[in-house]
Chains A and B, each alone.
Chain A
Amino acid sequence: MGWVCVPLRLILGGLFAFAAFNKLIAKGEGPATSSGPQGFAWTIKAFKLDLPDWAVLTSTFTTPWIEIIAGAMLILGIWTRGAALVIGGLLVVFIALLLSVLYRGLNVDCGCFGDMSPFCPAKVGWCHIIQNVGMLAAAIAIMATRRHALTVCKC
């Protein structure tokens, strides 16, 4: 099972690192962008969660940093199951947010990967729920595996 999880770890960790890169470093252009901290902050605001400004700003910067560290650890095999737990927790929150957006009928961009949208249309839809549920299943599989192959450490 440890070897079976290697591609799952690489794909899931890579996707989270890619998503975090687009939220933290990529530069968005124009008032419709979802990339970079600026675009990610606008995306959070567009979800209309009635968050205070400090909470929007904190989420804007802490979420992608947690994503990038958890993604890197998943790829490298450092605290592998802990990293999978963090990513699984983030995915549960993301799925809940997306369902809330769909329930309220908001026509907003997902911003999951900044302005990139490799698997789904830019606007939030059921495709994003399926995409995140798929990634959650991968995270659970990694978490449930006790011995992982190709890891930097046995931690």
Chain B
Amino acid sequence: MQPAGVIIPAVLIVAIGGGIGLADLAMRKDKVKLDRPEPPPLDLVLPPVKPTPAGEATNPQPASTQASPDVDVKTEATSDPAAAAAPIAESARTPPAAPTATPPAALPKGHITVPQAAALYDQQAFFVDSRRKDVYVAGHVAGAFRADMVSFKAGDPMWVRGLPKEMILVVYCDGGDCDESEHVAQLLNASGFNAVYVMHDGFPGWKDAGHPVETGEGQE
């Protein structure tokens, strides 16, 4: 067979396929929307956080995900319009926070305080430790799974694939300047999870507040 005997059939196949495709396009064009719809806002209600003796907690501040600002997290306090404006005023009256705690008003978008994270923990939220394995083994939030950025190199880790997308996820690292939790939160958000929060003060803040921790290999 001459080269033309290969090229001509190839051109015909492309022409036939392209023609049928264009006809299909004309019929079904209206059914295809080019922009992905924004995920529906979640109607989460965080329980009010009890103030700690150190005065760490104030009214919980509505938090939303970094990559999905439409997530609508409500607190019981915000159900009252008058109270909705309270957090800033409250925080101004609140005694100075404990050394490791960051006041809610100072948190970046999508970040939550340790008391808010603890409230979500009680609601069976899923905790994700984004630190190195050796640090994770030395101590982590009880029940937390580990996933750093490397874990996502070959696609979502197995346990991520098995989670329902409605699950509330709380990601943490070491607090302070560490930004691994931020990156992992964005990867989880890109994987379709709508409610992903970063525990701003990280594992040190969690541990200092006396919340459950465990050591060992855990799960990843």
B190 CB–A CB distance under 8 Å: yes
The answer to whether A82 and B17 touch across the interface, beta carbons within 8 angstroms, is: no
Name A52-67 residues within 8 Å CB distance of B.
53, 56-58, 60-67
The answer to whether B155 and A121 touch across the interface, beta carbons within 8 angstroms, is: yes
A155 CB–B CB distance under 8 Å: yes
Which label, helix, strand, loop or mixed, suits the secondary structure of the B interface? helix
B9 CB–A CB distance under 8 Å: yes
Chain B positions within 8 Å of A125 at CB level? 153-155
The answer to whether A57 and B32 touch across the interface, beta carbons within 8 angstroms, is: yes
Given contacts A81-B6, A86-B10, contact A66 B17 (CB under 8 A): yes
Given contacts A31-B37, A70-B17, A73-B13, contact A62 B25 (CB under 8 A): yes
A146 CB–B CB distance under 8 Å: yes
Stretch of A5-13, A36-44, A92-100 with 4 or more beta carbons under 8 angstroms from chain B: A36-44
B interface footprint on A14-30 (CB within 8 Å = 1, 0 otherwise)? 00000000001000001
Number of chain B residues close to chain A: CB under 8 A: 39
Partner of A65, one of B6, B21, B33, B36: B21
Given contacts A57-B25, A121-B154, A121-B155, contact A81 B12 (CB under 8 A): no
A91 CB–B CB distance under 8 Å: no
B195 to chain A, nearest CB (A): 15
Name A98-134 residues within 8 Å CB distance of B.
107, 120-123, 125, 127
Given contacts A38-B31, A42-B36, A60-B32, contact A69 B16 (CB under 8 A): yes
B20 CB–A CB distance under 8 Å: yes
The answer to whether A86 and B155 touch across the interface, beta carbons within 8 angstroms, is: no
B152 CB–A CB distance under 8 Å: yes
Number of chain A residues close to chain B: CB under 8 A: 42
Least CB separation from A147: chain B residue: B1
* CA of A43 to CA of B37, assembled, Å: 13
A49 to chain B, nearest CB (A): 13
The answer to whether B32 and A38 touch across the interface, beta carbons within 8 angstroms, is: yes
* CA of A30 to CA of B191, assembled, Å: 12
A79 CB–B CB distance under 8 Å: yes
Chain B positions within 8 Å of A143 at CB level? 6
Partner of B152, one of A31, A57, A107: A107
Using a CB–CB distance below 8 Å, which chain B residues touch chain A? 1, 5-10, 12-14, 16-18, 20-22, 24-25, 28-29, 31-39, 152-156, 165, 187, 190-192
Using a CB–CB distance below 8 Å, which chain A residues touch chain B? 24, 30-32, 37-38, 41-42, 45, 53, 56-58, 60-70, 73, 79, 81-83, 85-86, 89, 107, 120-123, 125, 127, 143, 146, 155
Q: 11 A-B contacts, Cβ less than 8 Å apart?
A: A37-B28, A58-B21, A60-B32, A62-B18, A66-B18, A69-B20, A70-B17, A79-B9, A81-B1, A81-B9, A82-B6
